[in-house]
A and B are shown apart, each in its own frame.
Chain A
Amino acid sequence: MVEKQEFMINMGPQHPSTHGVFRIVLELDGETVIGAKPEIGYLHRGVEKISENRTYEQVLPLTDRLDYVNAMGNNLAYVMAVEKLAGIQVSERAQAIRTILAELNRIASHLISIGTQGLEVGAYTVFLYCFREREIILDLFERATGGRLTYTYFRFGGLFQDLPEGWVEEARDFCKEFLPHVDEYEDLLIQNPIYKLRTKGIGILNKNIALNYGASGPVLRSTGVSWDLRKDSPYLMYDQVEFDVVYTKNGDVWDRAWIRLEEMRQSTRIIKQLLDNLPEGEVQAEELCRYVVPEERSSYFAVESPRGELGFFLVSDGSLKPYRMKIRSPAFVNLSLVETLVKGEKVADVPLIIGSLDPVFGEVDR
């Protein structure tokens, strides 16, 4: 008699398509996944604990290293959380510049996500096309901040410095050139019949499950929930610009990729509007002293990062250092869905599903 036996496969932490140091133990019946056990923690650095021993300013560079493909967004969430804690006001110009940079970084992050979605189905070319455009964004960041991956550009009360001369024109040129490239990705990958065959109806996420797990960002929006912090609790200049919240109903891998594609178009729209009406003025609050010493209280502030709700909860005991910092990481919460999503799918779809949750392990493990 032929004996039937399940088959364990250990994917990661060193595997070409686990998006970082992530390990998932798959139980296979042939090519079908019948069980999955995700394992995280390979990149844990104890950022939350370290920050208890640093002043508020010294914590800022650590936040760059959480979600390293969206460092601007992380700086933003932390800086705004501290500003809320200490009651610091920020000038209009600084707010507009922060919005522009955060949106540019959203585009850069989504470019990586869409590019790697291509890699996961063997379409290598679209990945390099995405990186070609990301390079232009990184050049813009380098001109403004001096860094290409970790910026530490946002400071309490404003920015490190004003934008360099000619930056606004360069950013405008980028917006003009970028939109045709988005159409290119759509033609080459998102609307490709084979890609649709591979991703439609794969990794279907139910609305209730998504809400119960606390998913956010494109992962939640793919299930038909129109929830975007930029619209629902506007911060920075988001209430003064026009843009649409992109959401779909099917909750599959294709929907999540399409949402990211469409969000790049919306982000470009936001950037264009802000570049045209950039307020004049100072970018740094003048009366600010060197150290931030908030009163004894706590505050939570969340922004819409490319992955979802990125929040910082800060508790102050009235000293120079935060008493406690808790990071609400969207990548961690979204990744917790992976076990539910991969069950019943084929082993070839596992990288696609992990990729569609767009985890960044700096943020998952913190």
Chain B
Amino acid sequence: MSLALEVTLRAIIAVVLGFSFVGLALVVLNVVERKLGGRFQSRYGPLHVGWHGSLQTIADLLKILQKELIIPAGADPVLFRLAPYLSLVPAITIFLAVPISENIVALESNLSLLIVLFLPAVSVFGILTAGWASNSKYSLIASLRSAGQMFAYEIPRTLSALSVVMLAGSLSLTEIVKNQQSIWFLVVQPIAFLIFFFTSLAEANRVPFDLTWAESELVSGFFTEYTGMRWAMFFLAEYGALIGSCFLTVLLFMGGWLGPFLPPVVWLLIKVSVLVLLSLWFRWTWPRFRIDQWLNFSWKFLVPLSIINLLVTGTLMIGLRVGV
């Protein structure tokens, strides 16, 4: 088999498998979120479709498929159609580079961390395009917020990931996980872990950083004007970004697939589920920040803190002669 053919085949299989996995995970996560949200709020959540409402999301998706796709008057029709894809594709494509065990990864690369870390940032273009093309002031404010906060979370997030990279001495996610055989980086780098996890929530637009949605002031944020499957694509992109961020957090800080007795994939999924459930818990408990407060917090506290963390890590590594 020629190399080109092999690469193409691998990519196709990976994309099909990856998208099916992500799609399934999104459906499961949505049901879990609604059931759990119900319990947190002392109500039942969905009950009637399937066993205890387990098929509710599928029913909803079928309903959404039948909805009319409305393009509002005055909107830019081309950009308006393009925006959902700009948002959804990067959020799901990162799974190509996510290793799910030592040998299973669709796109083996020694720079896989960079792909997983920065590809989701492209989603912001989707949000910006949606806000601009909708011809709605609410959407515009939301998308400007999204652009404004992007650097506020990307910089501390990258800096805290960098401290892990220094310890592991590699940008390959597989290598980073292998480096955690003896001890999780969560133990060595607790501050980096906290910064990374919380900025990941901001990246996925989750509570308490759901400023681009902000239904109390901006109606429905940047997707106010969207209907049907286009709306659902933004929705899926948000869940995709959340799951992707949790995968990355687990790989960087929580030993990835490492763990006794159970198969590696199972360990990975367990750890990811814990983080996802944690973020759901936040969502049903916390109020949201205001944009200027969150930006202040990020620039004046998170960024300096992650730089100091990076400096301390480097100094200690030289002092203790680790990995130098």
Contacts and interface: CB of A to CB of B under 8 A. Distances in A.
Interface of A: 7-9, 15-17, 31, 118-125, 128-129, 132, 188-189, 192, 194-195, 197-198, 346-352
Given A9-B137, A125-B40, A132-B42, A348 B287 contact: no
B289 A192 contact: no
A122 to B, nearest CB: 4
Contact of A349 (B207, B210, B290): B290
Interface of B: 40-43, 137-138, 141, 145, 207-208, 210, 214-217, 219, 284-293
A15 B284 CA distance: 22
Contacts of B293: 197-198
B36 to A, nearest CB: 12
Given A120-B216, A122-B214, A194-B208, A189 B43 contact: no
A331 B207 CA distance: 32
Contact of A348 (B40, B137, B207, B217): B217
8 contacts: A7-B137, A16-B215, A122-B287, A123-B285, A125-B285, A128-B42, A188-B285, A350-B217
Contacts, number: 78
Interface SS majority for chain A: helix
A347 B217 CA distance: 7
A17 B217 contact: yes
Nearest to A188: B285
A351 B217 contact: yes
A121 B209 CA distance: 11
A31 B292 contact: yes
A189 B287 contact: yes
A128 B41 contact: yes
B289 A194 contact: yes
B201 to A, nearest CB: 13
B284 A124 contact: yes
Given A128-B42, A194-B288, A197-B289, A121 B217 contact: no
Contact of B141 (A8, A194, A195, A347): A347
Given A118-B287, A122-B216, 16 more contacts: A9-B141, A16-B219, A17-B215, A121-B288, A123-B285, A124-B41, A125-B284, A132-B42, A192-B287, A194-B208, A194-B286, A197-B289, A198-B289, A349-B290, A350-B217, A351-B216
